[in-house]
Structure 1
């Protein structure tokens, strides 16, 4: 074996070992961009930033992927998306609700898509935080970030955030938050009628 071939194999073995030690060996390239009305700046403690990036199969959660499917795992703080034809799979870190009483689980769907959403606190949020504004227009101060997917549940959204410290944490008032660059991609892949399951 010549010296160049040996150097190439050694480098390849080293890269493979490094990827395996990081738990990346089984993650395909398409998953590597893993990288609300309900949300407003948190006034309480922000809990640990931990997300578990484990690829999942859609079949245990959905009977089909008609209109696409979104699974939000509030324990691992991750959002999974499968396109209708299953050719696209996305896995993103999320923020999730601060407490169990703010957490809603079950099946819903995307009922509206909004670029540059505005934000109004819910009555319960205003009661807890009377100092919050009644309305925040679209822009860098808006808690919904650049894009929002409105769900069939009143006040619940999957949306972006300008406060990137929230991602991977229990930090929302009920919604699911994503980095703005991730919600922009998800926004383009979803449609009104996309299935959503929160577990």
Structure 2
């Protein structure tokens, strides 16, 4: 964001810290899906996280979905991989991902894509600002944004599948719930998915 008021040590500290973690959800969720520009964070983003290598294997969709209507996304938390099948099953993609830091921050189950945003903005929640008053209240699209270039908003409040400008996050347990992809991968997935695409986190 070109506004010079953010070119301060606090701004730089926030951006440096955000490299350690993906924008993330609150542990306690609500049903308010209108808060699409806020992402809750329940740990200090300056904490260092340990990198682990993802393991990959191709999967069939049948054990996880009854059909692939509107397409299907499977997020395998343990192997840190995102699988995608197109509606007609002619396209299958497998992407490395970042995953939640702990089991307590991990949500599993069925949801769906309810919104797609090219160039998402990010805003901390009031609780985040209370803990970290020096953080900026808004980051627009661009290289400083924790959500990367594209975001798929899920029906669970605060949960996203999104990109990241910090490639060190991929393959790590580094988020508080969101699933992160390389920007080039989220752009491809974004182009194939639609509102209503099924999502299952296991």
- What root-mean-square deviation, in Å, do the aligned CA atoms of Structure 1 and Structure 2 show? 1.8
**Which one of 100, 103, 106 corresponds to residue 100 of structure 1?**
103
Q: Name the residue aligned to 2:141.
A: 138
Contact 1:72 1:78 in 2 (8 A): yes
Given the two structures, how large is their TM-score scaled by the length of structure 2?
Answer: 0.76
Is it true that 1:51 corresponds to 2:67 in the alignment? no
Residues 72-91 of structure 1 mapped to structure 2, 5 A cutoff: 72-91=75-94
How far apart, in 2, do the equivalents of 1:48 and 1:191 lie? 32
* Cα distance in 2, alignment partners of residues 104 and 127 from structure 1: 25
Shift of 1:130: 4.2
Residue range with higher mean Cα deviation, 64-73 or 121-130: 121-130
TM-score (norm 1): 0.77
Q: 1:97 to 1:124 in 2, by over 3 A?
A: farther
Deviation string 1:65-95 (CA, Å, 9 cap, x unpaired) is 0000000011110000000100000000001
CA deviations on 1:141-176 (whole Å, 9 max, x unpaired) are 000000000000111100000000000001112100
Is 1:157 matched up with 2:160? yes
Gaps of 5+ in 2: 1-22, 24-37
Query: Partners in 2 of 1:176 and 1:107 — Cα distance?
Result: 14
1:162–1:78 Cα change, 3 Å: same
Structure 2 distance, partners of 1:108, 1:81, is: 14
**Inter-CA distance 115–39: structure 2 relative to 1 (3 Å threshold):** farther
Match of 2:174 in 1: 171
**Residue segments in structure 1 that go unaligned for 5+ positions in a row:** 1-35
Secondary structure at the aligned position of 1:53 is classed as coil
1:61 aligns to 2:64 (yes or no): yes
CA distance in 2, matches of 1:123, 1:173: 17
Q: How many residues are treated as equivalent by the alignment?
A: 164
Contact 1:38 1:175 in 2 (8 A): no
Look at both structures and tell me which one has the larger radius of gyration over its CA atoms: 1
